[in-house]
Amino acid sequence: MQNILIDDLPLHSGHSVRGMGMYTKNLISSVLSSNHPALQIQSGNTEKLTQPVDLIHYPYFNLFETTLPNSKLADKVVVTVPDLIPLLFPKLYPLGIRGKMKLAKNIKLLKEQADAIITISETSKKDISRLCNINQDKIFVTYLAPNFVFEKISETKASKLIDKYNLPDKFVLYVGDVNVNKNIDTLLRASKKANVDIVLVGKQAHELDDSIKLSKGPRDMLRQLLGKKHPEVEHFNRLKKLFENKRVHRVGFLSNEELNAVWNLATVYVQPSLYEGFGLPVLEAMQAGVPVIASKTQALVEVAGDAAIFFKPKDTDNLALKIKKMFTSKKLRKTYINKGKKRVERFSWEKQAKEVIDVYKHILSG
């Protein structure tokens, strides 16, 4: 029997209700329930490790915070790296001296310690191999799956949510953060052109001022002296102005029950990102029977296949036109609802758990 520990650090931090935490929670739940006969799998804090284990899986990796120990704590190590977005958009995520030093250190630790890297799309696999100079043979793709079980709700429950958040009868839905790579400004402008309401779900959009937490390194101080702003600060300030539109509804973080209700009410879901490592809300929309419009980027095309309508990421007019069509054509909505329901059947946490365990077995066998 070989012993495996999945580090559960994201469940005990500010990431617990965000992507990294939700991934860790679902990973642990699905892998532990698989009950593999030759593996003893548990979750816990690697810093409190008292008994030796054969393999440790770190289901998170941060480019600019040291999330791996300085030396290996087990004979074999697996690390999940979802994406490398800041490295793909250096102008949007400029690095100061400290940032470059932390980046170099963390990539060095990754290359030294990881016997295998798990990522969430073929798109991310290629990026990790290219940008970190890691052999693709060490990188394994295991797709994500929806984080919750969608249920139809009664009109009474729907009315309660509508009253609580003052929601319109029809609206475009977006779920997630509003960082610069999410391209929310294009979505907001397109919704205004299409003359429709938009509902933004997520803590970051609701508490935008608190979302601007940028390091105060030498480069930031130099910017202040020169009267320049950090690109992400400029991005958030642009969003503030766009949020002044009365047809933009920011509801903040929702419980699973409330999120389920919002999915019931949405007219169309739009994923406008400039880049995604995966794009999980696209699958959640399909599961909920909400037609999807998505930007034509590699990972979103990989995940959605032919079950979404695509637009060029910065083409506001084209997105507005496609939103209008989805609002006015019942036939088009029905077509993409049906395509979405078929597409999402390909993704499950049970399948993901099997693929993760296959990685463990592959690494342990040498």
pLDDT, residue 226, reads 47
pLDDT, residue 352, reads 94
pLDDT, residue 224, reads 52
Q: Cβ of 215: how many Cβ atoms within 10 Å?
A: 13
In whole angstroms, give the CA distance from residue 291 to residue 311.
Answer: 14
3-state secondary structure 326-350: HHHCHHHHHHHHHHHHHHHCCCCHH
pLDDT, residue 158, reads 82
Q: Return the CATH number of the domain spanning residue range 2-145+348-364.
A: 3.40.50.2000
Sequence-ordered alpha helix ranges (H) in the chain: 19-32, 85-88, 97-113, 122-132, 155-165, 184-194, 203-206, 208-211, 218-226, 231-242, 256-265, 280-287, 298-304, 316-328, 330-344, 349-364
Instruction: Quote the DSSP letter at residue 182.
Output: G
CATH 3.40.50.2000 domain locations along the chain: 2-145+348-364, 155-344
In whole angstroms, give the CA distance from residue 190 to residue 174.
Answer: 13
Instruction: Quote the DSSP letter at residue 19.
Output: H
pTM strictly above 0.85:
yes
pLDDT, residue 186, reads 95
Per-residue pLDDT of the chain (366 residues; tens, 9 = 90+): 799 999 988 887 665 556 677 889 999 999 988 877 788 999 888 888 778 899 999 999 999 888 899 999 999 999 999 999 989 988 877 777 888 899 999 999 999 999 999 999 999 999 999 999 999 999 999 999 998 778 888 878 888 888 888 899 999 999 998 888 899 999 999 999 999 999 999 887 777 665 545 444 555 554 554 455 666 777 777 888 888 888 999 998 888 889 989 999 999 999 999 999 999 999 999 999 999 999 999 999 999 999 999 999 999 999 999 999 999 999 999 999 999 999 999 999 999 999 999 999 999 997
In whole angstroms, give the CA distance from residue 92 to residue 181.
Answer: 8
Residues shown for the chain: 366
| CATH 3.40.50.280 is right for the domain spanning 155-344 | no
